[in-house]
Amino acid sequence: MFTFHKTDIEGVYIIEPKVFGDERGYFMETYRESDFREAGLDYKFVQDNQSRSRKGVLRGLHYQRNFPQAKLVRVISGVVFDVAVDLRKNSPTYGKWVGAILSSENKHMLMIPRGFAHGFVVLSDTAEFVYKCDEMYHPEDEGGILWNDPNIGIVWPYQEDPLLSEKDKKHPTLKESKVEF
């Protein structure tokens, strides 16, 4: 029911669900534990989240320090550019990023394992973003990396200044944060 595409970073996958559609609309599974496990993605999700944002909103780059989360993310309305940054200290891709366009049209999902910072920017007028997490959210455990850290070099496909929360404006660079999983 799913096609799992490996990315350039170990453990991060772009996932295409099988979509059954006709003149009435469509149906698709967004998650099936056995299919994910067979692909080597053996997660037990414990929390689902949803956000709505307007064009130009950039959320991220977020992680949890002591309670890291694996996330399965997708868009149910609109278009976003979604990013995962590798923070695993023994990884050959430490500090590298992978990005994907996720939209209600392409129905792609991004699987982000533990040990990554995550963020996205909204490219459509609005977007609704949903994600499954394998660890509960702990607000006191939250950390972040500056969205435009020059050493990471994310190429965001949004040319104007993004709309950021006060918290996201103040994150340190990866080098300054010294975070490693």
Reported as a single tens digit per residue, the pLDDT across 43-93 is 999 999 999 999 999 999 999 999 999 999 999 999 999 999 999 999 999
- Output the pLDDT for position 91: 96
Ordered by where they begin, the domains of the chain are 44-177 (2.60.120.10)
Question: Among 13, 43, 63, 131, which one carries the catalytic annotation?
Answer: 131
Question: Among 13, 43, 62, 171, which one carries the catalytic annotation?
Answer: 62
Model confidence over 12-54: pLDDT tens digits? 999 999 999 999 999 999 999 999 999 999 999 999 999 999 9
The pTM of this model reads: 0.96
Model confidence over 118-153: pLDDT tens digits? 999 999 999 999 999 999 999 999 999 999 999 999
- Output the pLDDT for position 159: 86
DSSP the chain: -EEEEE-SSTT-EEEEE-EEEETTEEEE-S--HHHHHHTT------EEEEEEEETTBEEEEEEESSS---EEEEEEESEEEEEEEE--TT-TTTT-EEEEEEETTT--EEEE-SSEEEEEEE-SSEEEEEEEESS---GGGEEE--TT-TTT----S--SPPB--HHHHTPPPHHHH----
Residue 180 confidence class, pLDDT cut points 50, 70, 90? confident
5 is catalytic: no
118 is catalytic: no
**pLDDT value at 105 more than 90:** yes
